[in-house]
Amino acid sequence: MKIGFIGLGIMGKPMAKNLLKNGYDLTVYDLVPAAVEEVAACGAKAAACIREAAEGMDVLMTMLPNSPQVKEVMLGAEGAAQWLQPGSVLIDMSSINPVASREIAAALAEKGVEMLDAPVSGGEPKAIDGTLAFMVGGKEAIFEAHKPLLKCMGASVTRVGEIGAGNVAKLCNQVVVAVNIAAVSEALMLGQKCGVSPEAVYQAIRGGLAGSTVMDAKAPMMLSGNFAPGFRIDLHIKDLNNVLDAAKSVDAPTPLASQVMEMMKILHHDGEGSSDHSALLKFYEKLAGEEVRA
């Protein structure tokens, strides 16, 4: 199986490396030459353009920032759609608007190319160790045929429904993650303000009903003041924009997502857009006038 891979950012680069570890024939492309060179040093073929990453491939995988980038890479003037052969498959692992996924799939179908939308959750650490969670939309037969490929990069690979359903599930995931991080931040600040060590509060509640994967991933970062990006504030703003757009189109109430979105936008304007989304704690620190640390 010949695989093309476009998008070697924080997530895409380790994901591509995990495909190489599993012996796949991989050709990679990114706008940043250094990223291509790094993955090529691990055994991938380096593509100089989109055409070289797509032409003759059985599967093309994309891991890009948002809907406009995926649409441009696939359907633009130099887009991959014109180079993919009938019977090939696009697996888009980007987190984008479900409407865009369906538009791209419809355009590819006219050329005899199948598509799965397969966004992921888990951030950089799980991308590195190959334990991401994939939420997949598309035809069941196409999903089953390519599930082993996704399992090279993820511990959980779940088909949610038809095309676009994967990105619907990812939007739901991002609501839960955003609200959870905000709740953890609020709780740690409350504990400190009440004179109890926030580290002690975390250790006390993590084993109970309040405990979560999000808390265990983000509370230690907050308590150490480490906001190095695993998933940037600006990317979560992008996802919540897609949440709110999707919610508006179906008249779904999203008061919590809307509130956290406003908090993240304030952090963006404070220069924290490139910080990890655990930096939501800084919103509370700004209001309280003090830092939360272990």
Type and span of the H or E element at 191: helix 165-193
From 17, 71, 170, 218, the catalytic residue: 170
CA distances from 210 to 78, 218, 285 (A): 49, 14, 22
Distance between start and end Cα atoms, the chain? 49
Phi-psi region of 195 (alpha: psi -120 to 50; beta: other; left: phi over 0): left
Instruction: Please confirm, yes or no, whether 126 is among the known catalytic residues.
Output: no
Query: Quick one: angle between helices 233-250 and 165-193, nearest 10?
Result: 120
Residue pointed to by tokens 């060179």:
37
Please give the Cα distance from 151 to 56 (Å, whole number): 23
The rounded radius of gyration (Å) of the Cα atoms in the chain is: 20
Instruction: Name, in order, each residue with C-beta under 8 angstroms of 6's C-beta and a sequence gap of 6 or more.
Output: 28, 29, 30, 50, 53, 54, 60, 61, 62, 63, 64, 73, 80
Residues annotated as catalytic are 170
